[in-house]
Structures are given as structure tokens and as C-alpha cells.
A and B are shown apart, each in its own frame.
Chain A
Amino acid sequence: MPDALSAPMVVEFPFTRSLGPVQSAFLTGLRARTVLGVRTTAGRVLVPPVEYDPETAEEIRDLVEVAATGTVTTWAWNPAPRRGQPLDTPFAWVLVRLDGADTALLHALDAAGPDAVRTGLRVRVRWAAERTGAITDIACFEPCEEGPTDHQVTAHGGAFAGDAVTGIVAPARLDYTYTPGRAQTGYLAALAERRTVGERCPRCSKVYVPPRGACPTCGVATAEQVEVGPRGTVTTFCVVNIKAKNLEIEVPYVYAHIALDGADLALHGRIGGIPYDQVRMGLRVEPVWSEDGRHPDHYRPTGEPDADYDTYKELL
């Protein structure tokens, strides 16, 4: 069998999230270089603030302003910053209890080296030059000389100049190396030779295309490779009327289930070479290969008479 294939794959998604009243005030406050906490009924000040007391689950909204200075409660030296982290030079991860707060905030500390960091170190916020209402408005913390203060928190209404921040966009990107495994590697290698292969279940004899390495009915590995097609029959279809992003295909077009000759499972494909409103169940089709030859771009009518319903009804 051919060597296992692999290809880079990137999963990226911009999650748009709305904020509740407390989170909104906190992130709007960061934009204005102000750190807000929330006071629980028991009198504890939580920074960063949450909308529900983690101990009682009671809703809390009593905002207070805390200092931009604080004390490191624990730390970890990061010699090799990774993509997306706050600083691109070695730094310490820190939990910082800001003066006036009873809980700690996670962030990065810009320090000369691990010997310059310890639990109990006094630090202050270094604000980002451009602030948008996000946790990254705190660029990082930096050591400061100022000793611990007996900071009295002050009540805060949560209002700041300008529109309140009511949502964040949290972009995420993860990089993978995709390896499709034995069965799909065989399938893709055959496609590169303009052949379509499936695998036969040793127990029920069904031929699966594309093969996934297992028979979902019997729960056993499929191994015997079987060449199918190239021709096949449209078993069912739909008409697509909305243009997909980054796709050149003009709408409307037909997307169909196609049972290749010799296969016991229909695969998906686009139907071309015929007006969309003339596609029908039973239409006999054949693949038209993409220019790079790696996969069928679409399927077109062969000109044969339509297949009898009885020949494909089991594959619907």
C-alpha cells in the first residue's frame, strides 16, 4: 500500500461572544485603564469579575474599582513563548492579586529572568498602547517598587466615556497535520490515478465508497480493495441556490448522491453538463476530473437510458 498521506490543515474560527453586564463593565473599564472587580454578598472582591458568585451561584453586580498594582501569588517562567501569548520574549506567567481584590488574575509578567520573579513580588499593569475592550488591553504586568498598599476599593457605577463594550471577537487558530489513515490513503492514491476504489466488508460483502476502514453495520475492519465506477446513478439530489463563500460554482446547481457501479453506498458529487432542472433520480453519470487530476470536479450525464428504480432503491 502507498505511504500514509499527510497534509497541513488549519482550523480558524472567530468566535463572537456577547458580554453580560459585569463582563461588559470590566472590559470597557480596561479600555479606560481602570480595573473593576465585583463584590460578593459575603464581601469578597473578585477580579476578574464574574456575574455569579462561584461559591453560592448568586447573581452579583456590585462593581468596585481596584488598583492597577498588586502582588504575585504564583508564577511560572516561560522560556519559549508560543504563538498568541502576550509577549514574544521569555516571560513569567503570573497570578496577580490586585490591591483591593481577594482573588487573582492570570496574565504575563515582563521580567529580566526567572531570578527576578518570586511569589510576593509587587507588580503593576502595563497598559497596551491601543485598547479595544479586551483582556489584552493589559499588555502585561511589570515589576514595581511600590510596596503593598491598604487599598480601599471604591464603588463604581460601571459607566465610562464612549460606547460600552458589549461583545468580543475571540479568534482562534489551530494548526494540524492531517493524516487520513490507511483506508482513505488508498482511496486518495487511487483518485490520483483517476480510479475510484472502495473496500468490501469481509462479513456482509457490502462495498463502501469512499472507504473509511470499517463496516458500520458489522463493526469490523474492511480490507479488500474493490475498483468501482467510473459510471454511476443519481439516487437522490438537491438544488443549491446559495453561493458558498470562496466557491466559483454558479448557482443554482445540483448536488447529488451518486451510486457508482459496484458500490453499496452512494457518495456525494456535483452534477454538471445538464441544466439543473433536468437532473432526475436514475440519471446515469460519469466523473469529469479536475485539471490537476486529483479528484472528480463534477459528474456529467453519460447519455445512457436512466437506471431502473429497482436497481438503486436500496441505496437511497
Chain B
Amino acid sequence: MTGEFTGAPRNVAVVACAQSDHRRRTDELSEVEMLMPVLHEVLERTGLTTADIGFTCSGSSDYLAGRAFSFTMALDGVGAWPPISESHVETDGAWALYEAWVKLLTGDADTALVYAYGKSSPGSVRDVLTRQLDPYYVAPLWPDSVALAALQAQALIDAGHTDEPALAAVAARSRDAADGNAHAQLPGARPQGEYVVRPLRTGDCPPIGDGAVAVVLAAGDRARALCPRPAWIRGMDHRVEAHSLGVRDLTESPSTRLAAERAGAFARPVDTAELHAPFTSQEVVLRKALRLDDSVLVNPSGGALAANPVMAAGLVRVAEAAGRIHRGASDRALAHATSGPCLQQNLVAVLEGEARA
């Protein structure tokens, strides 16, 4: 049925996931050397080879390693010869997942390999991220990523949505949860530390590190054949807000709310939510936007506060949510990814496992 859209909706699932151990630096590895074991692991889990994969899509950013077209080097790890059907997004791999999902929905492919990686260690990621800001009015001031998150955190405190002890509790809960995550960079309790940019302390900020993640998607019966309990993607949507920070109400995330609505997140309650909130204060915003109450297990992996490989951390959320469904630890999970300053762009995916006998 290649190229032919019948109009009948296809079911697409995440059938396998793999990720690296996220580490502060990986000086001994090039990007492709860091990525390759993850690609091999995810293919091994399905028994697929590169030649079996219908579509490959990746997410990364040249600005992290300071190398132009670095994703083409990473393609060496995929085995891109003879030519494969391939695409790349210059943002978090969660958006590569979205592209692959659409490709499978159209019937253009039955399987997809989606991967993302980021090596933040060569540069200063706080400064590197300033280059994604409005180049006319904002980037010339070099406001770093912690500074912008701190402006949002103060707005939340002023509005009475949180306070510093509550933020510290988010940090502690996340890093305690990461004790059960072998890939995490910062597992276990640690002091909140000094202010980095007030009101955010060291503990409110994500670790800086290198890492990679890969997932395999499959449609319909292919998914059932490849995975005992596929994590079916029931809906996925992404939305963006005005780029000027002063236009937005930083205590709200209407883009997350809308993406969640369109993804069907509010149709029935979820039991698990993997939120991409690199800063403690952003979890406060996201919980509100997604209407998550205490019945929902939030970030059992430890979230981005325990490991934040830039460009991969959003796709890691999908992998963590899907992994829980594969293992039977969740029946309906929400995965969220973000990109840009102060939750500018947001993606929400709803994953479900079929009822068990």
C-alpha cells in the first residue's frame, strides 16, 4: 500500500526503546561513536536490521558540538548506503518522532527508526542556547537559558503558584525517582545549592551532559509481531507560542494545553506522565496546563532534572513512557517534550497498552 492513503486510520506504536547512560562528558567518543551502541540495541530488541526499516528520522543541533551538518556524520551509524529514506529535524528528537508517526499514518512506511543525540560537553550550553533567541531584540543581550527560566520561576512565585521550598521538593522527588533509572546522570538526593540565577538554585537546574536515545515505531500487525505489548500512540500534537517572552503569560502554557487536547490527553485519565521540564519551575507550569493531579505518577524516570541531553531529552520522555507500557507498569501514559525558552514549543503524545488478559 506504499504511497496510497486509504483514509482508514492506522495504529502506530512504539515497539522498542534504547538510550545511553547520560554522562557529564564523553570526550573519548565522537557523536556517531556515542550513538551507535544505542542504535544497535534498539534494532536488536526488534530483530530488525537497517535494511528492514522503512523510514529513519533524527533530531540534533549543530550548535551543541559546533560542527556544521553534524547529523550527516551520525548517519554513518545507521548504515545509510544503499540509500535509505531519511529525514532530520534541527530540534529535539520528539519532533522527529512526530514526523515519523505521520509518515507511518500515511501508509508510506510500516516501520521507522527515530533517534536523537546531544553532546553538550564541548561548549557552554547556557550560552549556546542564546543563539536560538530573537536575533534583533534578545540574542544581542545573551540572556542564558537559566536566566530565562528564572524569570519564569519568579513570575510563578509572584503569582502564588509555587515557592522555593516547593521547587526544592520537585528537585528532590525527581532525583529520588532517578535512583531507579540506570541511565540517569544525577540519581539520588543532593543539596539544592546556591542560586545560579535567583530564584533558581543549582538543584532547580538540569545537569549538563551528553547522551542519545532511539526508538522503533511500527504500524498495525507489524507492531504486534515486534513487541509483546506495543505502546500505541493514541494521539500526538505540537504547538508553538509567540517568540517574544514579554507577550506571553509565563505562568501558563496554552500551547501545552492545546497540544494535549488535540492529542486526546483529556479524554480519559492517564496513570503516568513523563514531562520534559528541565527546570523545577517548569513542572509547576506543565502540571497545571495538563491538569495532572496527585493520582498521576509524574516522571518516574527522574525526568530532565536527572538527565538532560539537549535534543534527546524530549524523545527520552517518550521512550520512558513507552517503556513503562511495554513492561506493564502503565496502561495509559502521557509524554511531553519542549523546545525553546520558557516552554515556547510543546509536544504531547498519549500512549496506551492494550488490556491484558
Identify the A interface with B (CB < 8 A).
4, 6, 9, 11, 15, 17, 19, 23, 27, 46-48, 50, 54-55, 73-79, 82-86, 93, 95, 97, 103-108, 114, 119, 134-136, 168, 170, 172, 174-185, 212-221
Contact B32 A95 (CB under 8 A): no
Measured in the bound complex, the distance between the Cα atoms of B75 and A220 in whole Å is 11
B136 touches A19 (CB 8 A): yes
Inter-chain contact B136/A79, CB cutoff 8 Å: no
Q: Does B189 contact A (CB under 8 A)?
A: no
Report the stretch among B77-85, B221-229, B282-290 that lies at the interface.
B77-85
Hey, which chain A residues are within 8 Å of B50, CB to CB?
Answer: 219
A219 neighbours in B (Cβ, 8 Å):
36, 39, 50, 76-80
> Which bucket holds chain B's interface residue count?
35 or more
Q: How distant is the Cα of A130 from the Cα of B75 in the complex, in angstroms?
A: 49
Kindly state whether residue B147 has any CB partner on chain A within 8 Å: yes
Q: Is there contact, CB below 8 Å, between A74 and B155?
A: yes
Q: Is the CB of B27 within 8 A of A6?
A: yes
Given A214-B76, A214-B77, decide whether A106 and B246 contact each other with a Cβ distance below 8 A.
yes
Q: Are A82 and B32 in touch, CB under 8 angstroms?
A: no
B107 at the interface (CB under 8 A from A): no
Residues of B within 8 A of A50 (CB): 244
CB distance from A111 to the nearest CB of B (A): 12
B198 and A174 within 8 A (CB): no
Does B124 have its Cβ within 8 Å of any Cβ on chain A? yes
Which residue of chain A has its CB nearest to the CB of B249?
A73
Partner of B195, one of A79, A85, A183, A217: A79
Contact B137 A77 (CB under 8 A): no
Query: Smallest CB-CB separation from B341: which chain A residue?
Result: A106
Q: Are B80 and A46 in contact (CB under 8 A)?
A: no
Residues of A within 8 A of B180 (CB): none
CB distance from A125 to the nearest CB of B (A): 14
Please report the C-alpha to C-alpha distance between residue A103 and residue B242 in the assembled complex, in whole angstroms.
12
Mostly, the B contact residues are helix
* Known contacts A93-B151, A213-B32, A220-B40, then 7 further A-B pairs from the complex at CB < 8 Å, ordered by chain A residue: A47-B246, A84-B130, A105-B246, A114-B198, A119-B155, A182-B29, A216-B81
A82 to B244, Cβ gap below 8 A?
no
Which of B30, B130, B139, B151 touches A183 (beta carbons < 8 Å)?
Answer: B30
Question: Is there an interface contact between A74 and B79, defined as CB atoms closer than 8 Å?
Answer: no
Contact of A106 with B245 at beta-carbon distance under 8 Å, contacts A77-B197, A176-B122 already known: yes
Set of chain B residues within 8 Å of A136, measured between Cβ atoms: 140-141
A74–B250 CB distance below 8 A: yes
Beta-carbon nearest neighbor of B35 in chain A: A214
Does B135 interact with chain A (Cβ within 8 Å)? yes
B274 at the interface (CB under 8 A from A): no
**In the complex, residue of chain B having the shortest beta-carbon distance to the beta carbon of A185:** B28
B71 in the interface (beta carbon within 8 A): no
A119 to chain B: which residues have CB within 8 Å? 154-155, 158
Q: Which residue of A lies closest to B150 (CB)?
A: A76
Partner of A106, one of B63, B141, B153: B141
Complex Cα distance, B80 from A68, in Å, reads 57
Would B198 and A77 count as touching, CB distance under 8 A?
Answer: yes
Q: Which residues of B contact A23 (CB under 8 A)?
A: 136
Partner of A134, one of B131, B140, B151: B140
Chain A residues with CB under 8 A of B199 = 76
**With known contacts A77-B195, A213-B30, A15–B150 Cβ distance under 8 A:** no
Q: Is the CB of A216 within 8 A of B79?
A: yes
Contacts of B147 in A (CB 8 A): 76, 78, 93
With a cutoff of 8 Å between Cβ atoms, the chain B residues found around residue A73 in the complex are 155, 246
Give the residue name and chain of the B residue nearest to A47 (CB).
B246
Q: Closest chain B residue to A13 by CB distance?
A: B131
Contact between B151 and A95, CB atoms less than 8 A apart? yes
Q: Which residue of B lies closest to A78 (CB)?
A: B197
B30 to A181, Cβ gap below 8 A?
Answer: yes
Instruction: Tell me which of A179, A182, A183, A212 has the highest count of chain B C-beta atoms within 10 A of its own C-beta.
Output: A179
